[in-house]
Amino acid sequence: MNDEERAAVGTCYKRQGPEAALALGHKLVQGDLRASRTQAWLEACARYPHGYLCCARGGQRSHIVQQWLKEAGVDYPLIVGGYKALRQAAIQATDELVQRPIVLIGGCTGNGKTQLVCSRPDGIDLEGLAHHRGSSFGRTLQDQHPQATFENHLAVSLLKKAEQQTRWVLEDEGHMIGANHLPESLRLRMAQSPLAVVEDPFDVRLERLREEYFDRMYRDFIAAVWRRERLAGIRRVSASRPVCHPPSPGAAAFCSAH
């Protein structure tokens, strides 16, 4: 269902109960509309053959879609309890897995701490998960995730390595990484963990900072400008004239100046 249909069913549920809401849902999505949405689900299942159906609480929505798919010849699994159960499982997994030994990597900005963590099979890149470098100028072109999504991604990263690793190597972070904060269980374990300090010569640090905060950011910004300008150009031309729209004069001047 779309947002309007869901709102109507939700209102009906509150006022008249579950049976009336279910009947309204079937009334709103029937005939050709049901067929077209079932076809869309079938195509999604073909694109993601190892996926799972999931709704907020594992209720009627996912079960009805699963039944429609089964009637169409596709047996597709669903997550019992929906996102709510999945979220609790992620929180529990993180709370349990962070009890393993942790080694923190510390040092001044530019010492390559993140690269060191990422190079290790037992490393978990907290800054990468947060889409933030953790410093005052740590924002990237990627928006930070909502807190729950950040925590879910952390749980997935831990679970993917849990069978092969018996400890974790993490960068020494504060309570916050940009707008995301570390789960309390992880923060408490990090406060109890040993710290290995990385030190590089000043000229090495300076070169790394130039690449990280200037050269790479410049390349990323230019690529983003080109993508935006190209999309804007595609929207401005008709479908019968497939052209690649050049960057704006301002963007071109910026490129030539650098």
Given 57, 80, 103, the domain boundary residue is 80
Nearest to 75 by CA among 54, 111, 45: 45
d(CA 177, CA 179): 6
d(CA 48, CA 43): 9
Is the model more confident about 31 or about 243?
A: 31
Is 55 noted as a catalytic residue in this protein? yes
- Dihedral (C-alpha) 45, 49, 50, 52: value to the nearest 10 degrees? 10
Do 190 and 228 belong together in one domain?
no
Is the model more confident about 116 or about 255?
A: 116
Do 97 and 187 belong together in one domain?
yes
User: 12, 45, 54, 55: which one is catalytic?
Assistant: 55
Do 213 and 191 belong together in one domain?
no
Given 80, 111, 139, the domain boundary residue is 80
pLDDT, residue 213, reads 77
Do 101 and 184 belong together in one domain?
yes
pLDDT, residue 258, reads 46
- Residue 120 confidence class, pLDDT cut points 50, 70, 90: very high
d(CA 62, CA 116): 43
Do 117 and 164 belong together in one domain?
yes
Given 180, 197, 214, the domain boundary residue is 197
Do 191 and 105 belong together in one domain?
yes
pLDDT, residue 65, reads 94
Tokens of 208: 């790394």
Tokens of 61: 């929505």
d(CA 150, CA 181): 9
Do 247 and 181 belong together in one domain?
no
Q: Which domain holds residue 41?
A: 3-80
pTM of the predicted structure, to 2 decimals: 0.76
Do 97 and 174 belong together in one domain?
yes
227-249: pLDDT as tens digits: 777 767 655 554 444 444 444 44
Number of structural domains the chain divides into:
3
The CA distances from residue 141 to 128, 137, 146, 159, 223, in Å, are 12, 12, 16, 27, 11
